[in-house]
Structure 1
Amino acid sequence: MLTTALTAVSFWLSFEALHDLASAHRLQGERAWAWPATVDTFIGVGELLILRASLMRRVDPWAIALTAAGSLGSIALNVAGVGVSHDPLDYVTAAVPPVAALLAFGVLMRQVHEFLLSRQSVLTAPPVPSGPPVTPVSETVTPEEPEAPEEPQEAAEAPEDEPELTEEPEPVTEPKKPRQELTQREQIDLVVRSLYDALGNQRPATRHMVAALRDAGLPCSDGTAREARKRVETAEPHLKSFPDAIAA
């Protein structure tokens, strides 16, 4: 909310200064108010394209060029509107609004980026199992002992040859299947779940979860940590009754 307000105020101050500059150079009425958009709009368009490129995991040189051109042009024109002044603070005051607009809008786009990534991970990730996967134990079948062959009855004229005994092969048992590796989302949930025990039956704060995920080499944004805590407490509702741990 504060980031949005700062962005709006910064752009308004920059527009106001550019409007005064346009009014002093033969532009009046609607044209004087529309002219600043030809400069400051490049900042918004460029940063939106940068957000789009980051979601697609690539770099867009055109987006960077548009953002740089809009911000540098806005700063230069705001400073030029001061004219000749012996007080350096006049130039600083004129340059602050376009710089603040660039930074505030960048922070806002960063928050939108993290929110969209957290929503995408929730929609695409598989459901979290309530316990570790159980691998079935293969049953070993013991072979029955072969019955002793009956002795051939003596023939009246000539004895028959005794049949040769062949050993039966031992049954082959299938080896146990190895434990399946956990997905990244399951690893995140296990790290967050272990914090409830490590903190002495207390609900971990966002800072605790982010630090633990960073130490485990897993994604550690604030949104990822909160979504993992929500999934863990959905699987084990009694964890919600634990007191909140103080983030140190």
Structure 2
Amino acid sequence: MSPVVATAIAGTVVIAAGAFWLSFTSLTDLARRSGIAPSRAWVWPLIVDGIIVVATVAVVALSSSSDPHATWYPWSLLASGAAVSVAANALHAVIAADADVPALVAASVASVPPVVLLAITHLTVHLTRNADVAREPDVSGSPAPSDAISVDTGPVDQRAEAEQLRLDGMSNRAIARHLGVHPSTVGRWLAPIDASTTATAAIPSKEQR
């Protein structure tokens, strides 16, 4: 993972934690004011904002599915959870706001954390997913970098050395590590030797006839 992607992921996690905490405290107080016991009021914001996080991860995870309806249910949960969280945060701000602060302003400020939580969770999942894809090597196209290096550093000498090491009983993988080339390169070099060895083994000796 590159430093830029790592920094971006760390930043999104910090912002998501801050947005979750602000929304969590507001919803906990609203639950307490609504009659839920203080010892259990903290569970309500976990349910509301937890749906946003889980549904966002599910939407991204199912986005590559061949079924066009695979993300319908996660999107429904995501929209419902976000709507409830934004409305509850805004309602709490109206109830608990100071008298000199307009209710509309208080509601607008309080609705920012759940919206940011929704956006930043989606961004974090995309960053981690694309970073994992970028780390996966593409072996379907161009040859391995070690092949290009071996061309510039004397492939004839390396091939001769590989043949000698094979005759000494060393495996292709061990030869590749020893010479610093890809195992497929060693396989191509030693293909004639392997073919001749196989043909020799297939010819029965005089004692077997």
TM-score w.r.t. the length of structure 1 is 0.48
Using a 3 Å threshold, how does the CA distance of structure 1 residues 56 and 119 change in structure 2: closer, same or farther? farther
Partner-residue secondary structure (3-state), 1:30: coil
Q: Which runs of 4+ in 1 moved over 6 A?
A: none
Structure 1 runs not aligned, ≥5 long: 132-233, 236-248
Aligned AA (1:43): I
Partner-residue secondary structure (3-state), 1:31: coil
Aligned to 1:67: 78
Partner-residue secondary structure (3-state), 2:34: coil
Partner-residue secondary structure (3-state), 1:81: helix
The alpha carbon displacement at 1:96 in A equals 0.7
Q: Distance in 2 between matches of 1:17 and 1:6?
A: 17
Aligned to 1:96: 112
| Contact 1:79 1:91 survives alignment (8 Å) | yes
Residue 51 of structure 2 corresponds to residue 42 of structure 1 = yes
Select the structure with the greater relative contact order (CA < 8 A; seq sep ≥ 6): 2
The higher radius of gyration belongs to 1
The alpha carbon displacement at 1:75 in A equals 0.1
Using a 3 Å threshold, how does the CA distance of structure 1 residues 125 and 12 change in structure 2: closer, same or farther? farther
Aligned AA (1:3): T
5 Å matches for 1:139-218? Answer: none
5 Å matches for 1:199-238? Answer: none
Residue 26 of structure 2 corresponds to residue 17 of structure 1 = yes
Post-superposition CA distance 1:48-88 (Å, at most 9, x none): 11121124465511111111111111000111112366613
Aligned to 1:211: none
Residue 130 of structure 2 corresponds to residue 119 of structure 1 = no
Aligned to 2:93: 82
Residue 43 of structure 2 corresponds to residue 28 of structure 1 = no
Q: Distance in 1 between matches of 2:32 and 2:111?
A: 19
| Contact 1:45 1:66 survives alignment (8 Å) | no
Aligned AA (1:76): A
Aligned AA (1:77): A
Q: Distance in 2 between matches of 1:82 and 1:20?
A: 10
Post-superposition CA distance 1:201-239 (Å, at most 9, x none): xxxxxxxxxxxxxxxxxxxxxxxxxxxxxxxxx99xxxx
* Larger helix proportion of the pair: 2
Report the more deviating stretch, 78-87 or 25-34.
78-87
Using a 3 Å threshold, how does the CA distance of structure 1 residues 113 and 72 change in structure 2: closer, same or farther? same
Q: Distance in 2 between matches of 1:58 and 1:116?
A: 23
Q: Distance in 2 between matches of 1:10 and 1:110?
A: 18
Partner-residue secondary structure (3-state), 1:36: helix
| Contact 2:57 2:122 survives alignment (8 Å) | no
Using a 3 Å threshold, how does the CA distance of structure 1 residues 115 and 54 change in structure 2: closer, same or farther? farther
Q: Distance in 2 between matches of 1:115 and 1:54?
A: 16
| Contact 1:55 1:113 survives alignment (8 Å) | no
- Cα RMSD (Å) of the superposition? 2.5
Residue 143 of structure 2 corresponds to residue 128 of structure 1 = yes
Q: Distance in 1 between matches of 2:81 and 2:67?
A: 22
Q: Distance in 2 between matches of 1:67 and 1:119?
A: 29
